[in-house]
Amino acid sequence: MAISIGLNKVKTAVFISGTGSNLKSLIKFSKTEKSPISVSLIISDNPKAKGLIYGKKFKIKNKVFKFENSGLIENQLINTLKKNQIKLICLAGFMRILSRNFIKKFKGKIINIHPSLLPKYKGLDTHQRALDNNEKYSGCTVHFVNAKLDSGKIILQKKVRIKKKETKNSLGKKILLQEHKLYPKAILKIFNL
């Protein structure tokens, strides 16, 4: 018999900075019966992030924070997350580095998706770096967030083959498609589902 998680879905915030295609896949997933989470808040550091439009379609609350004065802003952010009873944070193309203090406050409750097979290619421009090194494979990783950039415990990875004529763009598209499948799977895994 299927167990319905129903009203007890874990309130989740998705942090974005841009397109929000992973946000979109997480929202879709959260609407399914098997999902243990509901996306109830979207946080962006960028008022022009396209993902905000998608969130609005689904009437999901959003908040934009200007991270320039980051200490102060992070306190406001923590208050917002608490007020909204957020128990899981999914970083999805969020381009800011969260402080040690913030990460400590939500220890074990922040996860991120990264477009490489970590621990290879932490940081930016992962696809070009993989191509420059003539890698045969690249992929994506969902991991817990700790104080070191892209270094927390790995939850799940998906490998993709790099073809001979692969470009940064073709590789990026191929990996992004896999990201959309991997993030929901990783969430099921952390809930032991």
Instruction: Give the interface with ligand GRF as residue ranges (CB under 6 A).
Output: 16, 18-22, 92-93, 113-115, 176, 179
Smallest distance from ligand GRF to CB 189, Å: 17
Is the CB of 16 or the CB of 145 nearer to ligand GRF?
16
Specify whether the CB–CB gap between 143 and 153 falls below 8 A: yes
* Distance in Å, CB of 125 to ligand GRF, minimum: 11
Q: Are 130 and 121 in contact (CB under 8 A)?
A: yes
Element (H, E) at 28: helix 21-30
Residue nearer to ligand GRF on the CB measure, 10 or 175: 175
Q: Among residues 74 and 179, whose Cβ is nearest to ligand GRF?
A: 179
User: 3-state class of 152 per DSSP?
Assistant: coil
How far is it, in rounded angstroms, from Cα 185 to Cα 29? 10
Q: List CB contacts of 130: < 8 A, sequence separation 6 or more.
A: 116, 120, 121, 138, 162, 171
* Shortest reach from residue 168's CB to ligand GRF, in Å: 12
Closest CB to ligand GRF among residues 82, 153: 153
- Does the active-site annotation cover 127? no
Q: Which residue in the shown chain puts its C-beta closest to ligand GRF?
A: 93
Strand stretches in the chain, DSSP E: 10-16, 37-44, 62-64, 88-91, 110-114, 137-144, 154-161
Helices then strands, counting H and E runs in the chain, come out as: 6, 7
Question: Beta strand pairing status for 110-114 and 137-144?
Answer: antiparallel
Least distance (Å) from ligand GRF to the CB of residue 42? 12
Residues labelled as active-site residues: 114
